[in-house]
A and B are shown apart, each in its own frame.
Chain A
Amino acid sequence: MDDIVSVERLRVEFPTDGGTVVGVEDVSFSIAPGETVCVVGESGSGKSVTSLSLMRLVEFGGGRIAAGEMSFRRADGSLLDVASASASVMGGLRGNEIGMIFQEPMTALNPVFTIERQLTDGLRLHKGLGQAEASARALDLLRGVRIPEPERRLRQYPHELSGGMRQRVVIAMAMACEPQLLIADEPTTALDVTIQAEILALINRLKREKGMAVLFITHDMAVVAQMADRVVVMRGGRVVETGTVTQIFEAPREAYTQSLLAAVPKLGEMQGKVLPERMRLIGDAETRAARTAIAPRKPEVLLEVRNLTTRFPVKGGILRRTVAQVHAVEDVSFTLNVGETLALVGESGCGKSSCGRSILRLIEPTSGEVLIGGRDIGALNAFDLRRARADMQMVFQDPFASLNPYRRLKDQVAEPLMNFNLSSGQELASRVLDLFDRVRLPREFLNRFPHELSGGQRQRVAIARALAVNPKLIVADEAVSALDVSVQAQVLNLMMDLQEDLGLSYLFISHDMAVVERVAHQVGVMYLGRIVEIGPRAAVFGSPAHTYTHQLLSAVPIADPRKRRFGEDLTFKPITSPIFPLGHVPAPSTYRAVSPGHLVLTTD
C-alpha cells in the first residue's frame, strides 16, 4: 500500500439546533500517487463535505469528523492521520502538501490584496522564502498556468482579471508549494465551456508534469469521463460505487449509477438522426419509450425575427449621460416553426438571454421586427402587448427565484388566467387542476408554497404557469440548467411531451451543447450578440462551418472516457467586449448558405 491518501469509514456530522445531521457516513476510498480520483454525485451527495474533511476545513463550516481515519502519506514518507492531526500540523499541511481549488473564481481571491501578495504569502509561510524569492517564484507560477503578461498580473487586483484568469491564479496558488495532492472542488462549474476546457487541460498538464495526485469533485459525468482514472460515486452522504473510469462508464454495477449515466446526454450520440429524441430514463414510467422522436406536424412559421437589435446604454460622466453602448443583440434574424424547437446556444454574455427577452419585449429592442403568427409584436402599444403576451410565455433558469415565495402555487399558476379574464370561479379552479395534472404534479401541491417543493417540482410549476394561457411559443431560458441531471432529464421529457401534445414551439436558450443536441430541431450559435451560424441541428453539429462553432463543440466534455479531448494545452480565442462607443455602426449580418437552411455569418 503506497496510496497517498486512504480514507476509511469517514463519518462527518453537523450539530444543529434540530439535532445532528449526518453529512457523510461510511465513506472509504483511496488515491494512488499521480492518480486522478473523481468524486461525483448530485446535490446533497456529500461530495464536497468529503473533500473539505480531507483538508479539515469542514470544521469551519460547523461540521465535525465523528469517526474514521484519513491517512495521508507526507512528503517524507511518514503516514499521518488527518482526522486526528493537531491544528498546527494541519496548518503545515494545507497549502503545502495538499493544495485546494474551489468552485467560484470570482470570490476565491481576496479583493483588496494584489495577486502577488496572495501568491507569495503561502510560499513565505511554508517555504520560508524572502519577499524577492517569493515574488520570482510567483512569476514562475503565473507562467506555469499560462497567464498572459504575468509581470503585470502580479501587481493587479483580482477584479481586474477575467473569471478564467482568476481560476488560473487560484490554481497557481494551490500549486505554489508543489503539493503531492491537489483537491479540486467543482473547479469549472462556474465557468464557460471553452474556459472549462482550458482549465481541465491545465490541471491535466500540471498533474502530468509534477506527478501529483488529484481529487476532483464534480457533479458533471462528462467531466468525470474526461478527467478520472478512478471514480467514486456518492449519493445521500454514502459511497454508492467505486471503480475505474471505464468500469463505471461501461459496466456500472449499481442501479443508481446506471440511471445517472443514462440521463447524461453524450455529445455526438445524435449523429445521423434528424429529429430530437427524449432523454433516456431508467425505470421512469413517465417516459414514452415507444415514441422517442419528436416530429413537428407540418411546417408552418410561428415566429419570425428580422434584424433584431438590442443595445443597453452605459451611463457615465457627470450628468449620467450615455457614454457607450452594450451591443447585446446585433442584427439577429431567424424563423421558428410551429411545434419545433430552436435552440440558441453560446457562452455567457453572447446575448442569447437578451435575445429571448427582446422577443417577448421584456426588454425593449432597439430596432428590428418580431412577428408571431404574422403579428408585429414590436408595433403593439402597451395594452395590446399585454394581450399578445398570452401567445408567448417564458420559463426562467432559477427555479428558486422564479416563483413568488409568498403565494400559493395554485394562485401563481392561476395568475395569467386571471390577468386575461380567461376564466373564473369553478372553471378557473378546474383549469388549474388540469394544468397540475399536465405537468405531473400531485394535486396536494395546489395549496402549498414554493419552499415546500424541490427544484424540479418548482420548474414544473413554472411550466404550468407558462402553459396556463395556451401559448404558442415558450421561451425557455436555461430552464433546466440549475437542475440535477436526472431531474433535468425528467423536465426535458415533460417539455417534449407537451410539445408533441400541444404543438408548442420552444425557443430553447442554453449553454449546454449536449442537451441541445438532443432536444433541438434548429440551432443558432450566438457570439457577441450575433448569430454566427444557424441551421438544422444535424447540420450545425455534424458539419460546423464557423470557427466559433468549431471552438465551442471541441470544448464540450463528452461523457465517454474513450473520447478524451483535454490532454494537450488548450487556448481559445478570448471573447472580446460587446461594448462600443456611441457612434459605432456595426456592419449588418450577412450570411452564406452552406447547405439548404444552414447559414454561416460572413461579417467579421
Chain B
Amino acid sequence: MTYILNRLLSVMLTLFLITLVTFGVTNILPGDVAMMIMGTQSNPEALAGLRESLGLNDPLAVQYGRWVGGMLTGDWGTSLIFKQPIAELLIQKAAASAVIVVMSMTIALTLAVPLGVWAAVHRDRWQDGVSSTAALMGVSLPDFFWGIVMILVFARGLGWFPSSGFVDPAEDLAGTLRHAFLPSLALGLGLMAHLTRMTRSTMTGILGQEFIRVARAKGLSERTVVWRYGLANAIGPVITIAGLQIGYLFGSIIVMEFLFSYTGMGWLTYQALLNRDLPLIQATVFVIAAVVMLTNLAVDLLYVLIDPRIRLG
C-alpha cells in the first residue's frame, strides 16, 4: 500500500516535470516561436499579431501557467492547422494509435519470448547463432525500411493489405485492423528483435543460477526446468523491458504512421512539428511522454503482482 502511494506521488511529480520539460523545449530554446510558426520571411505586423494572440509577449511563467491551467480545466486550445479543439483531435488519433501499439506489442511478445528462451537454452550453438543473428539484423534495420519492404511485398506485390490510410473502427473494424496490420507488423518485428535479445540474456542469466541446478538435481525434466522454473523468473524482467520499449515504440510510430499515412497520434505529432503548430506540438509531446511514463508505472505495478519478493517484501 505504501509502495503504491509512493508511486502515485512520484507520478504526480514526474507529470509536473514533464510539463516543465515540454514547455521548456518548445519555448526556452533559442528561436522565436512566432517566426518559427510563420517562417522567417513573414511580415513584422503579422508576426506581432500572432505573438499577441498566442500571448507570447507575456513572461514565460505566465505563459506556462496559462498552458497548464488550460490543460487542467480541459481547455487544451485549438490547433492552428486543423482549426479544431486539440482535446478532440487527441482522443480521435490516440484511439487509432492504440490499435497499432497493442497489435505490434502482441506480435513482438508472442514471437520474442519463445525465440529468446530457445536461444538461451541452446546458448553458443547453431540455434542460438540463427536466432541471435536474426535478432541482430532486426535491431539493425530501420523501422521505416521494414515498412517499405512491407509495402513492396504485401501491398504492392501481393496486394493482401492496403499500403496507406486509416478506417474508423466504428464503421469497419476489420478495415481498421487491415490498415493497421502492416505498420504494426513492421514495428512489431523491430520490437521483437530487441525483446528476443533481452529475453535471451535474461534467460541466460537465470539458467546459470543455483536454483536451476537444484531443480535439475531433483530430477525434474529439462522442459519443466526451463519453461516453468526458468521462465517464471524471466517473465518479470521481460515485461519490464517490454514496458521500456513503449518509449521506443512511440518514437517509431511517428515514422511509421507517416509512411503508411495512418492518421494516428504519430501522424498528428508529425503534422504539428512539420507545420510548427505550437499548441498542438506541446499537447502531443506532453501526452506521449505522459503515456510512456504511465505505461512504465503500470508495468512496475504488474511486476509487483508477479514477483513475491516485492509483493511481500
Contact = CB atoms under 8 A, between A and B. Distances in A.
Chains A, B in direct contact (C-beta < 8 Å): yes
A340 B146 CA distance: 73
B286 interface: no
B2 A316 contact: yes
B218 A92 contact: no
Given A102-B210, A104-B210, A317-B2, A111 B218 contact: no
B178 to A, nearest CB: 40
Interface string B214-239: 11111111001000010011001000
Interface string A89-115: 011111110011011100111111100
Interface in B171-229: 209-211, 213-221, 224, 229
Contacts of B213: 57, 60, 102
Contacts of A157: 308-309, 312
B229 A94 contact: no
Interface residues of B, number: 27
Contact of A159 (B214, B217, B219, B309): B309
A318 interface: yes
A391 interface: no
Interface stretch (A121-129, A471-479, A579-587): A121-129
Interface residues of A, number: 36
B233 A112 contact: yes
Contacts of A111: 211, 233, 307-309
A317 B2 CA distance: 7
A160 B220 contact: no
A327 B261 CA distance: 64
A102 B216 CA distance: 12
A170 interface: yes
B9 interface: yes
A67 to B, nearest CB: 23
Contacts of A93: 219
B306 interface: yes
Contacts of A57: 213, 216-217
Interface in B263-303: none
Given A110-B233, A111-B211, A112-B308, A95 B6 contact: no
B254 to A, nearest CB: 36
Contact of B219 (A92, A109, A170): A92
B206 to A, nearest CB: 10
Nearest to A160: B312
Interface in A165-212: 170, 173-174, 176
Interface string B1-35: 01001100100000000000000000000000000
Given A122-B220, A125-B220, A108 B211 contact: yes
A57 B214 CA distance: 10
B313 interface: yes
Interface string A9-51: 0000000000000000000000000000000000000000000
B209 A94 contact: no
A108 B209 CA distance: 8
Given A112-B233, A317-B6, A318-B2, A94 B210 contact: no
A464 interface: no
Residue of B209, B219, B221, B307 with highest tally of chain A CB at under 10 A: B219
Contacts of A160: 312
B159 to A, nearest CB: 48
A55 interface: yes
Contact of A318 (B5, B210, B217, B224): B5
Contact of B229 (A90, A110, A318): A110
B228 to A, nearest CB: 9
Contacts of A100: 214, 217
B214 A170 contact: yes
B232 A113 contact: yes
Given A108-B210, A109-B211, A317-B6, A91 B221 contact: yes
Contact of A95 (B210, B219, B232, B307): B219
A96 B5 contact: no
Contacts of B307: 111-112
A524 B306 CA distance: 46
Contacts of B211: 107-111
A112 B247 CA distance: 28
Nearest to A112: B232
B236 to A, nearest CB: 8
Contact of A112 (B215, B216, B218, B306): B306
Interface string A59-97: 010000000000000000000000000000011111110
B2 A121 contact: no
Nearest to B224: A121
Nearest to A174: B217
Contacts of A99: 217
Interface in B50-79: none
A159 B308 CA distance: 8
B221 A107 contact: no
Contacts of A90: 219
A95 B217 contact: yes
A364 B115 CA distance: 50
Given A110-B229, A110-B233, A94 B2 contact: no
Nearest to A107: B210
Contacts of A60: 213, 216
A62 B304 CA distance: 35
Nearest to A110: B211
A53 B216 CA distance: 13
B6 to A, nearest CB: 5
Contact of B218 (A94, A104, A159, A318): A94
20 contacts: A55-B217, A57-B217, A91-B219, A93-B219, A95-B219, A99-B217, A102-B214, A108-B214, A109-B211, A109-B214, A110-B215, A110-B229, A110-B233, A111-B211, A111-B233, A112-B309, A121-B218, A122-B218, A159-B308, A159-B309
Given A107-B209, A110-B229, 12 more contacts: A104-B210, A107-B211, A108-B211, A110-B211, A110-B232, A111-B211, A111-B233, A112-B233, A113-B232, A121-B218, A125-B218, A316-B2
Closest A-B pairs by Cβ, 6 of them? A95-B218, A95-B219, A94-B219, A100-B217, A157-B308, A107-B210
Interface of A: 55, 57, 60, 90-96, 99-100, 102-104, 107-113, 121-122, 125-126, 157, 159-160, 170, 173-174, 176, 316-318
